[in-house]
């Protein structure tokens, strides 16, 4: 089936952030290409993938950015955050410290991004049940305290990955509709189908 990547009504920049090794690159790869790559440490440069979906009758294009491993040094540039309308903050359910760091990522994102950006918390590697260090309950609580949606996913087993991204995109579209002033900042082409670049 041919997916017309250029025929969209809205385009949004989406980020995947979180500690190194939590599975950000594999979540992106699973969502965009339905693949799992195991170790991706060789990846160089900021990569991104795109995905088309239909939400509320609109053809919505997600342009999803992956980090190039700079999260290791907490050296994510403001250019990376700029213009983002949605973010998945990812931790690894088998490493408690990556869950504790969700708060730092949350603050970092809130400081650098638009107020109306949508955020979800994602606990990845749900297939590693034996090694679990973070319960669903405590993660749900953290999400509730911050008024955010929460998903557990497995990029490896393709569990909940689609649901997590789609839920985020629904919130992104909702926020966009609630904020008409944002019409000229969010990268929406409107009904005229004119092309509009995300960045100048």
Ligand X SMILES: Nc1nc2c(ncn2[C@@H]2O[C@H](COP(=O)(O)OP(=O)(O)O)[C@@H](O)[C@H]2O)c(=O)[nH]1
Contacting residues toward ligand X, per CB under 6 A: 20-26, 38-40, 124-125, 127-128, 154-156
Q: In sequence order, which ranges of the chain are alpha helices (DSSP H)?
A: 24-33, 78-81, 96-100, 102-112, 136-145, 161-178
CB-based burial, 174-200: b 16+ in 10 Å, e otherwise: ebbeeeeebeeebbbeeeeeeeeeeee
Residue 124 interacting with Mg ion (CB under 5 A): no
Query: Nearest distance from residue 135's CB to ligand X, in Å?
Result: 17
Closest CB to ligand X among residues 120, 173: 120
Query: Nearest distance from residue 124's CB to ligand X, in Å?
Result: 5
Residue of 157, 19, 164, 29 lying closest to 88 (CA atoms)? 164
Residue 101 binding target from ligand X, Mg ion, none, CB below 5 to 8 Å by type: none
Query: Nearest distance from residue 66's CB to ligand X, in Å?
Result: 7
Q: How far is CA 43 from the centre of its chain?
A: 18
Residue 25 interacting with Mg ion (CB under 5 A): yes
Residue 26 interacting with Mg ion (CB under 5 A): no
Residue with the closest Cβ to Mg ion?
Answer: 25
């Amino acid at each position: 089936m041919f997916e017309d990547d250029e025929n969209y009504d809205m385009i949004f920049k989406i980020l995947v952030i979180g500690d190194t090794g939590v599975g950000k690159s594999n979540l992106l790869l699973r969502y965009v290409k339905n693949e799992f790559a195991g170790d991706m440490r060789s990846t160089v440069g900021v990569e991104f993938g795109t995905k088309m979906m239909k939400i509320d009758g609109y053809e919505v294009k997600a342009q999803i950015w992956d980090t190039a491993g700079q999260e290791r040094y907490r050296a994510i540039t403001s250019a990376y955050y700029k213009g983002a309308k949605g973010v998945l903050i990812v931790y690894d359910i088998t490493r408690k410290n990556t869950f504790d760091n969700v708060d730092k990522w949350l603050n970092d994102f809130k400081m650098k991004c638009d107020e109306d950006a949508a955020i979800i918390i994602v606990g990845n590697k749900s297939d590693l049940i034996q090694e679990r260090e973070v319960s669903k309950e405590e993660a749900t609580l953290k999400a509730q305290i911050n008024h955010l949606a929460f998903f557990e996913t497995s990029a490896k087993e393709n569990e909940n990955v689609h649901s997590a991204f789609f839920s985020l995109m629904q919130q992104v579209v909702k926020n966009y509709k609630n904020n008409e002033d944002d019409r000229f900042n969010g990268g929406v082409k409107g009904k005229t189908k004119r092309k509009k670049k995300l960045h100048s």
